[in-house]
Each structure stands twice: as structure tokens, then as C-alpha cells.
Structure 1
Amino acid sequence: MTLPKAFSTSFLIAAFLTSFTLVGQNFKPLDVSPMDAATYPSSHRISKKLVKVIYSRPQLKGRPIESLAPNGKVWRTGANEATEITFFKDVTFGGKPVKAGTYTLFTIPEKETWTIILNAEVDVWGAYSYNKNKDVARVLAQVNKSQDTLESFSIAFDDEGTMHLGWETLRLAIPISE
């Protein structure tokens, strides 16, 4: 039995479209702490960067910062995988020399200052496997308050290369230079 050409063509098109529909059903929904990146220089038109930070952005959702980033404990400086920072050249990070490379960015929150940590171990989830012996640099950042409130944890760079961390009204600044 031979099927009409129009029927067989319609059948093939339907099968083709169904295969895309089935594959499309495997996409995951947007993460509740979406991944983001911050770079210096910040302009997208400048391809040669000095530094790039890849991190996930937890949301407060009515919770105090201390419940997500407890004082006195090593924090992954974001959500999900630990935040990674890449320096494309040797830099001075908060006054300490650091070689070009990729590092994990951890922090230890406190009321007046936060300890900012660059750690050589990368591709880690959270701060569960944090190893102090792999620290490359530790610097202190003074806690400042802003009148503006940020629901999402955020990292940004200013025009001088200072890295700013912000959440709720908390603000930290870490200078980075060549």
C-alpha cells in the first residue's frame, strides 16, 4: 500500500516538530539565585578585561542577611557554586599582590568588617569544602551602609577598578589595580 505524497510529507513534518517539542520539555526553569557576572572594565566594548567575577545572586525574600551569610563563618559569597574571580593579569587585591589566574572568592562576614578571601581551590560547591591552607590572600573590607536597599546580592566594579559587594543596605569595597 502506498500513501499519498501529501500525507507522508505531513507525517514527516509532524514527527519533526514533535521531536523538538519533546526535547524542549527538558529545559529547567530559571534558578531562584540566577548566575551573573561582573567585569572590570565594565564596558562590553572592551574585550581585554582585568578581572571577571562569576557568581550566583541569592535573594533576601524577607530574611536577614545573617541567616544567609552568618557572622563568623566562611561564606561562598553568593549562592550555589562558590563565586569565582579571574584576574587576567597580576594585580594588587586590597593591597596584596595576586598572580593572574582563577580563584574562589570566599568571605567571612562580621558586624564591622568582612574578611575577603581568595582561595586557590576552584570548581567547588558552596563553602563546604573550604580549605584555609589554599588561601592566596585575605583582606579586610570595612562595612558601610547605604540608604538604597538591594534585594539581590550584587557585585559591581566602579571606574577605578574597585570591586563593590552589596546586599540590603550593606556595602563593601575592595580596591583592585594592576
Structure 2
Amino acid sequence: MKKSTIVATAAFALTILLSPNAQAQKFPDLDKSPMDVAAFPTEYKNADKIAKISYSRPQLKGRSMEELAPSGKVWRTGANEANEITFYKDVTLGKTKIKAGTYTLYTIPEKDSFTVIINKDLNVWGSYFYKQENDVARLTVPATTGEDSLESLSMVFTKTDNGLALNMGWGKVRVAIPFTE
């Protein structure tokens, strides 16, 4: 090996060793609204899924849901990025058939109901860039009141007689979004 190659290699190695980024990385703290996933069927060993939703879980922290998700306004239905819901099979919401694929799920909270919106835009931050012209399906569903208050937004799929429901709860508000197969 030539002396100049050895010197260059040694200089490069010394630069890497002395670089502050080479020995330690700075990782961010935990997100205040951690991401979660709900899938159906819920059994983790069942790989034949029908639907899966990825969402961030904001906490109330003494605030009301109305403060965080104002009535009559399009809401990302969580925190941070808008939720993304994937259907692995064609489903129907109300009378609208939704083809298998990934979509954004928005809602419009009202006092006694939620308008559920399936939208074709993806990788969207919040609802700031929501475009109604990209809606695939809409359905208004009743909002009910639960006995217990949930500090964090929670979602779970359940089986129904003719498909599945995405159940959402936050505070004492409960919403069931029915999808048929």
C-alpha cells in the first residue's frame, strides 16, 4: 500500500472517530400523542385482515373534546398526521362501495352525530389540506355517551352481523362506523 493511501485512510478514520455524530445519535423524546394501530380481525395471528387504521392518540389533559375537535369542522380524528385506513377487501360505507386500498379517515363532530369521511388523499398532516373533492364516501353516524371517560382517543374494530364496525371513543363520546363486506 502506498504511504499516501495509508495517511489518507488514517486521516479519514480519525475524522470519523472525532466527529460528534459518529459515536452518539440524538433521538427524539416520546411523542405526546403516540401512534397506534387497530386491525380487523383483531387476533394478531390472523393474517387475513379486512381493515387496519393507523392513528395518533391525543389526550384530553383536562380539556374537553370540543376544544380539541370543534363541532362542525373537519377533524383529522386524532393528532399529528391524518389517520390512514387500509381496506384489504372491498367494503361499503352506507351505500357507497369503497375499493380495497388506503385512504384518509376524517370526521366532522357534531353534538349528537359524526360525519365520517373516507378521502383518497394520503400522507396528509392534520386536516389543514383537506379537499372535499377527493372524498370517496361520507356517512353520518350517531354519537352516543359512554359510562367511563377515556383520557386518550381509542379505536377498536368489532365484528357486526354483516361486516365490521370501527368504534371510536374519547372522553365520554362513542361513535361506531359500520362497514359491510
2:169 is aligned with 1:166: yes
Tell me what 2:41 maps to: 41
Aligned-pair RMSD on alpha carbons? 1.8
Q: Which runs of 5+ in 1 are unaligned?
A: 1-14
The equivalences for 1:80-159 within 5 A come to: 80-159=80-159
User: Quick check: which one's strand share is greater?
Assistant: 2
| Aligned residues of 2:93 and 2:138 also touching (Cα < 8 A) | no
User: Percent identical across equivalent pairs?
Assistant: 51
Contact 1:94 1:174 in 2 (8 A): no
Between the two proteins, the alignment pairs up a number of residues equal to 162
Determine helix, strand or coil for the equivalent of 2:58. Answer: coil
Mapped to 1, the partners of 2:23 and 2:148 lie a distance apart of: 44
> What is the TM-score of this pair, normalised by structure 2?
0.84
**Equivalent-residue separation in structure 1 for 2:58 and 2:23 (angstroms):** 32
Match of 2:7 in 1: none
Matched to 1:43, the amino acid is: E
**Distance in 2 of aligned mates of 1:62 and 1:19:** 40
- 1:67 is paired with a residue whose SS is helix
Quick check: 1:39–1:51 contact (8 Å CA) kept in 2?
Answer: yes
Deviations 1:138-175 (A, max 9, x none): 00110100101100011101133211010011000011
Equivalents in 2 of 1:22, 1:76: separation in Å?
A: 36
Distance in 2 separating the partners of 1:95 and 1:38: 24
> Is 1:176 aligned to residue 161 of structure 2?
no
